[in-house]
Amino acid sequence: MLPGRTVRILSIDGGGIRGIIPALLLHHIKQNLEARGQEKPFARIFDLVAGTSTGGLIALGLTAPDTETPPASNLLSWLTRRRPEPKLGIMNLVDFYRKQGESIFPSRGFHRWRNLAQAFTEKYDTQALETIARDILGDLTLRQTLCPVLITAYDTTRMSMQLFRTTKARIDKKENFYLRDVLRATSAAPTYFEPHQLSPVDRPDLEYTMVDGAVFANNPALLAYYEAKRIFPLAKRFVIVSLGTGRQQRSYEYDQMQRWGFLDWINPLKGVPLLTMMNSAQNQLATYQLDRARDVDYIRLDRALEGCSARIDDASPRNIECLEEFVEKIIASSEPELTRIINLLKRA
């Protein structure tokens, strides 16, 4: 990498079905870039893509290679070969939320009963999510992504954060995992899905148990910044495009909380207050630090949800429609930020 170069980072928050929000924002950005002659896929525009939970799904979808690119047969064909294209375009990911959301988060049964049962066991079967992950990502591995990625999870066996990183996977077999396992690990939201057990591709003797990275970094932008500084030590500036999944507007007053017990703090009917507060605080901390970093242009797109369900598992057609309308409001109210993003990316 040339000294003094600008590094471009895409960071995408967790948020379950609300991942359709950053997916649609990326679609809007892509349309505007193409109108200005920038036709590269995001995997060649950004130098690093980071994601947590549903953001990890988008990150992997944008960077997983289409392995059907013909192999080079000789030196000339190697020199002139087409670089692999991404397996999925951004509209494939938008359609994923529209069409597969209810498969992953089925709404059958009595909603309140399911929420009560959630206090004692996971709310959803993981089979649909695992089948979709296998269908989309097959046997692709972390070392194969088209640009470096950073995906978060939490290792409950070793009680430490897990950062799935392409750069590490390319030099250490113990760090190379199937992308389908990475997706399943980063999306194993406690009480919604059971933890995921996985092993490195070439080290089946090593076993890990992991849950959703949102337990420590729902907004992975700060982690992505430090990873980019490690990968690109000569870089002069870091442009971080950070996409949220809509902030919950609900607040909690003393009169509500003074008699809360354990189940109240994790009650989905109350918006899972403990996790909501942790995620909000972590996001504020990341924003606080990145806004003060002298070598960072931090562009954050996120708004308080208006009229839509904040539940990460409300994949009903009505809520999907509401979230899509909410994105239109974000676009209309974020023209300065979007213009800045597009101007910074069109030269990549």
From its phi and psi, is residue 85 left (phi > 0), alpha (psi between -120 and 50) or beta?
Answer: beta
Q: What are phi and psi of 237, to 5 degrees?
A: -135, 155
Which residue out of 11, 53, 187, 309 is catalytically annotated?
53
Which residue out of 181, 212, 302, 313 is catalytically annotated?
212
From its phi and psi, is residue 156 left (phi > 0), alpha (psi between -120 and 50) or beta?
Answer: alpha
Which percentage of the chain shows pLDDT scores above 70? 90
**pLDDT score recorded for residue 323:** 97
Which percentage of the chain shows pLDDT scores above 90? 70
DSSP state of 143: G
pLDDT tens string 21-52: 999 999 999 999 999 999 999 999 999 999 99
**pLDDT score recorded for residue 69:** 54
The architecture in CATH of the region 6-104+124-252+271-325+338-345 reads 3-Layer(aba) Sandwich (3.40)
Greatest mean pLDDT among 3-12, 104-113, 329-338 lies in 329-338
Dist. CA 296–CA 243, nearest whole Å = 16
Q: Where are the domains positioned within the chain?
A: 6-104+124-252+271-325+338-345
**Both tokens assigned to 163:** 């950062």
Dist. CA 197–CA 209, nearest whole Å = 4
Q: Is 255 a catalytic residue?
A: no
State mean pLDDT over 1-21: 90
What residues contact 128, with CB distance under 8 A and at least 6 apart?
Answer: 100, 103, 104, 106
Dist. CA 165–CA 176, nearest whole Å = 8
Give yes or no for residue 13 having a pLDDT over 60. yes
Under the banding of pLDDT at 50, 70 and 90, the label for residue 19 is: very high
More confident of the two residues 120 and 84: 84
Q: Residue type for 335, please?
A: E
What residues contact 289, with CB distance under 8 A and at least 6 apart?
Answer: 222
Q: Give start and end residues of each alpha helix (H) in the chain.
A: 20-35, 42-45, 54-63, 75-80, 90-104, 111-117, 127-137, 166-169, 179-186, 214-217, 221-231, 254-257, 262-265, 273-291, 317-333, 335-345
Q: What are phi and psi of 103, to 5 degrees?
A: -70, -40
Residue 140's SS3 state is: coil
**pLDDT score recorded for residue 269:** 73
State mean pLDDT over 275-304: 92
More confident of the two residues 69 and 246: 246
**pLDDT score recorded for residue 120:** 43
pLDDT tens string 319-342: 999 999 999 999 999 999 999 999
Give yes or no for residue 203 having a pLDDT over 90. yes
Q: Is 53 a catalytic residue?
A: yes
Give yes or no for residue 4 having a pLDDT over 90. no
